[in-house]
Structure 1
């Protein structure tokens, strides 16, 4: 399994993440071309080599052409003092969904913005629609967040894992005043995620950085056995204290197993029409597997067992959804270990057009391949041919028959 590992010993901000991704191998031109699909104006991106405490990496500056330079020294990834346009979530959604970015990048970007909006909403006692983004509504932070989604999509890793996140110490100036580190929004976004506090003498992790990890990472741990393929560094905009202000990332391979949790509950008094809605909602909030099992409950009554497999970082949202949307009064939870083959998606040209093929690997050797169901379905409907005929033709072509 190919893993992207974030070693956040000096925190994370949006610009540090972009630097680390470029240093890791994300193509600069590809990133800039994709960002241009948003048709945002008034900025350009400066990408340079830099160093902190002798560690060399990539530094990214988003330079605003209509304003003065984005001063990351106030807090990396945060714009606390500039007169940027304030936008609400609908404004940002319009920018992203009206662009030519891929559907996956659009969704990932809005997932991050939604996490920040929910945090700001809770802190300020407003609805999500009423929240106006001060820092993250600015052009530079939109670039940081959408850029993170573009880089993640480019790397096509199987999984993202992070160390516990260093948040720093001291105070930070925000739009509403001076607050202790971590800033309220950062702390809210990182609920349920392990943090470290006090090793860095400034705000080490920003709301943007927190949202990136809360969206991408499915595990937060330090005891990781990884065969490292490449190490990269994103250079921050601070140079204080003894610890270098850099974000270190690893790209490598780990055994294809992970520790997850299974949550189960039994129901015998719920309208069956609700089950598909609940299952779809659970997948949206991060469940890995959701399935229903018919059971016989006490007094011989037929019922249904709902089972949800998930990473611990998604637990709160999954529990809330189940308690709000089903008739259950509680559930069982236990730890499980999931082991699986490493997989990737390959695009192949067939007589029907381009089709996605799912490949599975054991010890580096490809042992299974099959066409993507949705692609076969689309061809069958378009050509008026049997699904099985198209599926078999594509499969035989892959096997050289």
Structure 2
């Protein structure tokens, strides 16, 4: 399975994500030319070599009206006096950061969507870019306690972020991985100076986007994860965990501007992830003196206690008695627990154990929004295939609420995905 793993030990920002992904392409300069030919208003992308702590990588400069936008980090000292750090571009610079270029125009989310939809890029890339910006808009609305329609973005930061979002979405489409994983996200610490004042790190919008995403602070002062970086990771990453077992084929280094004791970069690994295989146990017993209700109750108890699966098989036992074979699948570490449950809730006097090899697809569950309500979508990847399935319990709940059939609900929701 083609897997992209993003190592975010120094946070995440749009320009850094774009830089690390462009290094995975065979011809990165062609991408820069293609991007600049999109003619995003007042935007030019420049790819340049950058070295951090002796590591050579790529830095992507997003020029707005011929200038690269800058932002400020502010640290609070013990006496609570505010001391400005050097005014320079650390990571991706967001729409809500303080700007020194003198621009005061603003853009609504609908105007941003118009810009994105007007670009000569694939429909899927447009959809991804609009959805990512939707996450940013939702977070800003939450931070300012306004509706998303009331949110307006500063002009310079808007164009900078549009470039980052569109660039990353284009690169993900070109790389086309089966699965995307990321490490837990380092958000930094201290404070950042924004258009609305001095805010704690992570900024409120970033913190909102990173809900349910593993993240952590540290000793490094500064904003390491920006709203754009957070939104891109939240949208594209299937999981946030340690790097899986994979055969790496390409490695990319996307550099930020600032220098820290630790290399200021995002590292990307692209390769083939080994398919999942693990040992499972089958605990089996034969029953000929329990009622159907008692067997059903026993299987329910086993499932509720974490069995991988429980199923029954009709069999003929000694003296030609009809019976039931109960099979409980579980992890080896849980064997003693399930042996006790089987002996407690069935009439068997003996249990057989079989060790099996189980090959499985990599699974992920995400929540999608629809006109009928939120619903879980199960995604599975591996062995060169991918599958999707809507969660039955959610379908059943909506069917009861809307007085519709499961078929009608599936048809409506699948049209919106």
Report the TM-score range of the alignment, normalised by the length of the smaller protein.
Answer: 0.5 to 0.7
Aligned to 2:39: 39
Aligned to 2:304: none
The answer to whether 1:306 aligns with 2:393 is yes
Task: Provide the C-alpha distance between the structure 2 equivalents of 1:6 and 1:47, rounded to a whole number of angstroms.
Answer: 20
Secondary structure in 2 aligned to 1:15?
helix
Aligned to 2:401: 327
1:24-173 counterparts in 2 under 5 A? 24-25=24-25, 27-36=27-36, 38-65=38-65, 68-71=67-70, 73-79=88-94, 80=97, 81-82=99-100, 83-84=102-103, 85-134=105-154, 137-173=157-193
Secondary structure in 2 aligned to 1:24?
coil
Aligned to 1:252: 271
Matched residue count: 286
Secondary structure in 2 aligned to 1:41?
coil
Secondary structure in 1 aligned to 2:23?
helix
Task: Provide the C-alpha distance between the structure 2 equivalents of 1:64 and 1:250, rounded to a whole number of angstroms.
Answer: 30
Contact 2:3/2:270, CA 8 A, preserved across alignment = yes
Contact 1:136/1:208, CA 8 A, preserved across alignment = no
Task: Provide the C-alpha distance between the structure 1 equivalents of 2:19 and 2:136, rounded to a whole number of angstroms.
Answer: 22
Secondary structure in 1 aligned to 2:192?
strand
Contact 2:365/2:378, CA 8 A, preserved across alignment = no
TM-score by length of 2: 0.63
Task: Provide the C-alpha distance between the structure 1 equivalents of 2:170 and 2:222, rounded to a whole number of angstroms.
Answer: 28
Task: Provide the C-alpha distance between the structure 1 equivalents of 2:229 and 2:175, rounded to a whole number of angstroms.
Answer: 18
Task: Provide the C-alpha distance between the structure 1 equivalents of 2:156 and 2:68, rounded to a whole number of angstroms.
Answer: 16
Task: Provide the C-alpha distance between the structure 2 equivalents of 1:210 and 1:63, rounded to a whole number of angstroms.
Answer: 21
Cα shift at 1:139: 1.6
Q: Deviations over 1:133-172 (max 9, x none)?
A: 2388522211001001000001011010000000011110
Secondary structure in 2 aligned to 1:191?
coil
Secondary structure in 2 aligned to 1:247?
strand
Aligned to 1:233: 253
More displaced 10-residue stretch of structure 1: 79-88 or 200-209: 79-88
Cα shift at 1:95: 0.6
Cα shift at 1:324: 8.3
Contact 1:38/1:95, CA 8 A, preserved across alignment = no
Aligned to 2:325: none
Contact 1:19/1:59, CA 8 A, preserved across alignment = yes
Secondary structure in 2 aligned to 1:237?
coil
Task: Provide the C-alpha distance between the structure 2 equivalents of 1:223 and 1:248, rounded to a whole number of angstroms.
Answer: 12
Q: Deviations over 1:322-360 (max 9, x none)?
A: 9889639xxxxxxxxxxxxxxxxxxxxxxxxxxxxxxxx
User: Which consecutive residues of structure 1, in runs of 5 or more, have no partner in the other structure?
Assistant: 264-275, 293-304, 309-321, 329-401
Cα shift at 1:94: 0.5
Q: Deviations over 1:108-157 (max 9, x none)?
A: 10111000001011111111111112388522211001001000001011
Task: Provide the C-alpha distance between the structure 2 equivalents of 1:196 and 1:326, rounded to a whole number of angstroms.
Answer: 41
Structure 2 CA distance for partners of 1:93 and 1:86, relative to 1, 3 Å: same
Structure 2 CA distance for partners of 1:287 and 1:112, relative to 1, 3 Å: farther
Out of 213, 216, 220, the residue aligned to residue 200 of structure 1 is 220
Structure 2 CA distance for partners of 1:127 and 1:325, relative to 1, 3 Å: farther
Structure 2 CA distance for partners of 1:291 and 1:195, relative to 1, 3 Å: closer
TM-score by length of 1: 0.65
Task: Provide the C-alpha distance between the structure 2 equivalents of 1:221 and 1:243, rounded to a whole number of angstroms.
Answer: 21
Structure 2 CA distance for partners of 1:37 and 1:69, relative to 1, 3 Å: closer
Task: Provide the C-alpha distance between the structure 2 equivalents of 1:223 and 1:291, rounded to a whole number of angstroms.
Answer: 28
Task: Provide the C-alpha distance between the structure 1 equivalents of 2:252 and 2:175, rounded to a whole number of angstroms.
Answer: 13
Cα shift at 1:71: 2.3
Q: CA RMSD in A?
A: 2.8
Task: Provide the C-alpha distance between the structure 2 equivalents of 1:251 and 1:221, rounded to a whole number of angstroms.
Answer: 16
Rg larger in 1 or in 2?
2
Task: Provide the C-alpha distance between the structure 1 equivalents of 2:113 and 2:198, rounded to a whole number of angstroms.
Answer: 29
